[in-house]
Structure 1
Amino acid sequence: MAEVYTLVVRKPCFDLPTGCPQCLSAFIYLNFAKFPFQLNFHLNDPHSDKIPYIEVGDDYVAYDNENGGIIECLKKDVGVVDLDSEVSSLPDWVSIKAIITTWLHDALVYELWVGSEGSSAYSIYYSDLPWPIGKVLSSKKARWVKSKHGITDDNAVVKQEEIYARAGYAYDTLSKLLGEKNYLFENSPSSLDAIFLAHGLVVLQALPESSALRVKFLEHDNLVKYVQKCKSELIEAGPHPHTDASPLGSRSQSTKRPKPKSVPKREKSEAEKTFKRRGSYFVAAQLVAVVVFLTLMVTFDGTEVEVENDVDGDF
């Protein structure tokens, strides 16, 4: 029996199969590679840095926060064709990869959480969570982004101009590189096409019309056509993978493991049932306490002016 490959991503939004740029780049790469896969949505912990991840049957899972990211895992560990094998040695490859994965990545992250006041990011990452938890996580991420770029109240305008200037230079460079071709290199798709197309789709579909990053992107007609062509051919026209939108929990590690043997059920004793009931009451009480605490944190967080030096990882 053939293995079943399932790409697990954040939920669809903004008329995209998933609103998350990392998830979308993996989705596009698999379609470029003509690799058969199913699509599923992780709804339990949508802010987890493990998403996206790929499941191979019941025995293997590879996460985005391992081994260089999800696309590298697809190429090296899952057996998806390496679309970069013929182009990664070209002179411009390293510099273009750096532009896309640093300047444009940083600009989109900044725009999602800070520049556009976090409304689009909230829809993508937190809207399935209870409001107080989503609000706290969103505020924490915005502070982390500011801390990463060294943004304070005194230099916020200057830092923002620097971020947008680098993004504008990146768009100019990519527009010249693309020209009238269908793809960035050698007229065949690569991982950089997948990553940049995901970036462009989120910029055009998820950011508000007033977004400075979106305005800069729209200045380059060939980049806009490039992204629109991807949307019509890969996303709207198919091929569409089988989709199961049931909630999923994340697996603990990316490794092969045997399936557990079934164990005959035994009847629970009265003492065990009582203990379980008490445990449920305790968990419920703790949950109420956490919600109250997070609500108070949100109230306090809204009064913050100074940027904290929050050391944290990407969601």
Structure 2
Amino acid sequence: MTDTIPLDSNWIAANPPPVHGNGTTKNSRGRVLAIGGSAMVPGALRLTGEAALRVGAGKLQMATIASVAIGLGLVVPEAGVLALPEDSDGEIAGGAGPLLETSLNGCDTLVIGPGMGSAGAAKALLDIVLNQRCDEVTLVIDALAIGSARDLRDALVAFDGRMVFTPHHGEMAMLTGLDEDAVAKSPEKVARDVAVQYGAVVVLKGSDTVIAAPDGTTLHYGGGGTGLATGGSGDVLAGAIGGLMSRGASPIIAAGWGVWLHGQSGRRVATTKGPIGFLAREVPAEFPRLLPQ
């Protein structure tokens, strides 16, 4: 059996993210495109996008339903926004492909899924992305988009080795067809199996987090405290991982650092705000203090 490695200060010291020296531009520091959101959760991409910027990504574009795009751009003035068609349920509608083509060709990392409330809409959006040419793009699949990956496994081969899944136990159950109890009983095995099947790094979230890579590497993080069990926390984590990947970190390094930054930042916020009741949007501000210079 593959040994599980603690995701601790020793691992962090031994596996640094890329460092950008003199002459770095915002383009060379990484370009992130985050796609998602809905009328019910219009602010999810704010959390994802801010996290990507706080881990050092140089440029951010957020693509969401037209009715909230301008408002999203106002709360994250550092980002560009792209307004996508909206269906009657307030989800991203079909026909977004031509609008996304330029943005997909101009990004280094795509984060897809945060804030979407319909599995059908998430699957249609992921299908659109997989029909575009994204030869150099790295991919983070989050939230309901994870479950839809089950029906698009053959197409996802194009991202083999360039992809991270960020499921909680319920989303992992959707992806694998297992029930949540089975996922909870054997999280390391389930994460490893999915990593091999999809050629992806899997971040299986919970009170403890398991990270599994296709080569069998498995990391374990003991958790950042119960305060992180709050709405929007997963959106922040997806953005942190995506931002690190855009800077050139490998999927396993980006996943490990993203989980560690998320957890350690949660602990820091808890010391000033209290152990429970702080907000997910308060976590990314701690990231720059923990990143190497």
- Shared fold, TM over 0.5: no
Q: TM-score, normalised by structure 2?
A: 0.26
TM-score by length of 1: 0.25
The structure showing larger relative contact order (alpha-carbon pairs under 8 Å, at least 6 residues apart) is 1
Higher helix share: 1
Which entry has the higher C-alpha Rg, 1 or 2? 1
Greater percentage in strand: 2
